[in-house]
Amino acid sequence: MERIYQKSLIVAIITLMLDFTFHLLFTRPMETLTYFVIKFLLAFFVAAGLFSLKRFIDSPKRQMTITFVAGLIFSTLMSTYYRAWELGEANVPFGSRAPDIIGITRYTPFCLASSGGWLTPHFSLLVR
Protein backbone atom coordinates (compact mmCIF):
# COMPACT_ATOMS: atom_id res chain seq x y z
CA MET A 1 0.00 0.00 0.00
CA GLU A 2 2.86 2.39 0.75
CA ARG A 3 4.18 1.92 -2.77
CA ILE A 4 0.91 3.24 -4.24
CA TYR A 5 1.20 6.46 -2.27
CA GLN A 6 4.87 6.87 -3.14
CA LYS A 7 4.15 6.42 -6.84
CA SER A 8 1.16 8.77 -6.60
CA LEU A 9 3.31 11.40 -4.92
CA ILE A 10 5.89 11.11 -7.71
CA VAL A 11 3.15 11.51 -10.36
CA ALA A 12 1.73 14.56 -8.55
CA ILE A 13 5.15 16.20 -8.19
CA ILE A 14 6.06 15.62 -11.84
CA THR A 15 2.64 16.88 -12.96
CA LEU A 16 3.04 20.00 -10.85
CA MET A 17 6.61 20.66 -12.02
CA LEU A 18 5.70 20.29 -15.71
CA ASP A 19 2.60 22.47 -15.40
CA PHE A 20 4.39 25.11 -13.31
CA THR A 21 7.25 25.27 -15.84
CA PHE A 22 4.78 25.62 -18.73
CA HIS A 23 2.89 28.41 -16.99
CA LEU A 24 6.09 30.16 -15.95
CA LEU A 25 7.45 30.19 -19.48
CA PHE A 26 4.36 30.50 -21.64
CA THR A 27 1.47 32.22 -19.83
CA ARG A 28 0.78 35.72 -18.64
CA PRO A 29 -0.31 36.29 -15.94
CA MET A 30 0.94 33.35 -13.91
CA GLU A 31 -1.62 30.94 -12.49
CA THR A 32 -2.58 31.22 -8.82
CA LEU A 33 -1.25 29.17 -5.93
CA THR A 34 -4.73 27.67 -5.49
CA TYR A 35 -4.63 26.36 -9.08
CA PHE A 36 -1.35 24.54 -8.43
CA VAL A 37 -2.52 23.13 -5.07
CA ILE A 38 -5.69 21.79 -6.70
CA LYS A 39 -3.67 20.35 -9.58
CA PHE A 40 -1.29 18.60 -7.15
CA LEU A 41 -4.12 17.13 -5.05
CA LEU A 42 -6.11 15.95 -8.06
CA ALA A 43 -3.04 14.37 -9.65
CA PHE A 44 -2.20 12.60 -6.39
CA PHE A 45 -5.66 11.18 -5.75
CA VAL A 46 -6.40 10.19 -9.34
CA ALA A 47 -2.97 8.50 -9.57
CA ALA A 48 -3.64 6.67 -6.29
CA GLY A 49 -6.90 5.37 -7.72
CA LEU A 50 -5.17 4.44 -10.97
CA PHE A 51 -2.39 2.51 -9.26
CA SER A 52 -4.89 0.79 -6.93
CA LEU A 53 -6.95 -0.47 -9.86
CA LYS A 54 -3.95 -1.56 -11.92
CA ARG A 55 -2.91 -4.00 -9.20
CA PHE A 56 -6.06 -6.06 -9.79
CA ILE A 57 -6.00 -6.10 -13.59
CA ASP A 58 -3.73 -8.51 -15.44
CA SER A 59 -4.46 -7.57 -19.04
CA PRO A 60 -2.20 -4.81 -20.45
CA LYS A 61 -5.07 -3.70 -22.71
CA ARG A 62 -7.36 -3.18 -19.71
CA GLN A 63 -4.57 -1.39 -17.83
CA MET A 64 -4.21 1.01 -20.76
CA THR A 65 -7.97 1.59 -20.72
CA ILE A 66 -7.84 2.35 -16.99
CA THR A 67 -4.95 4.76 -17.58
CA PHE A 68 -6.90 6.50 -20.34
CA VAL A 69 -10.02 6.79 -18.13
CA ALA A 70 -7.91 8.13 -15.24
CA GLY A 71 -6.51 10.81 -17.57
CA LEU A 72 -10.03 11.77 -18.62
CA ILE A 73 -11.17 11.92 -14.99
CA PHE A 74 -8.19 14.11 -14.08
CA SER A 75 -8.80 16.46 -17.01
CA THR A 76 -12.53 16.65 -16.33
CA LEU A 77 -12.04 17.45 -12.64
CA MET A 78 -9.40 20.05 -13.43
CA SER A 79 -11.64 21.61 -16.06
CA THR A 80 -14.56 21.64 -13.62
CA TYR A 81 -12.41 23.42 -11.05
CA TYR A 82 -11.25 25.93 -13.64
CA ARG A 83 -14.77 26.71 -14.89
CA ALA A 84 -16.06 27.03 -11.31
CA TRP A 85 -13.17 29.39 -10.60
CA GLU A 86 -14.09 31.52 -13.62
CA LEU A 87 -17.70 31.82 -12.52
CA GLY A 88 -17.24 32.04 -8.78
CA GLU A 89 -14.00 33.80 -8.02
CA ALA A 90 -12.60 35.50 -11.08
CA ASN A 91 -15.86 36.97 -12.43
CA VAL A 92 -14.76 36.43 -16.02
CA PRO A 93 -16.95 35.15 -18.86
CA PHE A 94 -17.59 31.41 -18.80
CA GLY A 95 -15.21 29.51 -21.06
CA SER A 96 -12.52 32.19 -21.26
CA ARG A 97 -9.12 31.16 -20.07
CA ALA A 98 -7.60 33.42 -17.44
CA PRO A 99 -3.94 33.48 -18.49
CA ASP A 100 -3.07 34.04 -22.12
CA ILE A 101 -0.66 31.59 -23.69
CA ILE A 102 2.22 33.40 -25.35
CA GLY A 103 2.04 33.04 -29.13
CA ILE A 104 -1.56 31.81 -29.16
CA THR A 105 -4.43 34.23 -29.44
CA ARG A 106 -8.13 33.50 -29.24
CA TYR A 107 -8.17 33.70 -33.05
CA THR A 108 -5.39 31.17 -33.68
CA PRO A 109 -6.76 28.01 -35.38
CA PHE A 110 -5.41 26.02 -32.39
CA CYS A 111 -7.99 27.77 -30.23
CA LEU A 112 -10.89 26.87 -32.49
CA ALA A 113 -10.78 23.53 -30.74
CA SER A 114 -10.06 25.22 -27.41
CA SER A 115 -11.51 22.52 -25.20
CA GLY A 116 -9.49 19.88 -27.05
CA GLY A 117 -6.47 22.16 -26.96
CA TRP A 118 -6.84 22.54 -23.22
CA LEU A 119 -7.82 18.96 -22.49
CA THR A 120 -4.95 17.29 -24.32
CA PRO A 121 -2.02 18.80 -22.39
CA HIS A 122 -3.77 18.38 -19.05
CA PHE A 123 -4.69 14.81 -19.93
CA SER A 124 -1.13 14.01 -20.98
CA LEU A 125 0.29 15.26 -17.68
CA LEU A 126 -1.29 12.31 -15.92
CA VAL A 127 -1.01 9.67 -18.64
CA ARG A 128 2.68 8.93 -19.19
Q: What's the pLDDT band for 39 if we cut at 50, 70, 90?
A: very high
**122: how many CB neighbours lie within 10 A of its CB?**
21
Q: Which of 14-18, 46-50, 53-57, 62-66 has the lowest mean pLDDT?
A: 53-57
Q: What's the pLDDT band for 37 if we cut at 50, 70, 90?
A: very high
> What is the Cα–Cα distance from 72 to 126, expressed in whole angstroms?
9
Q: Which domain holds residue 77?
A: 2-126
Q: What's the pLDDT band for 13 if we cut at 50, 70, 90?
A: very high
Q: What's the pLDDT band for 107 if we cut at 50, 70, 90?
A: low
- The count of domains in the chain is 1
CB 31 within 8 A of CB 122: no
What is the model's pLDDT at position 28?
79
CB 35 within 8 A of CB 99: no
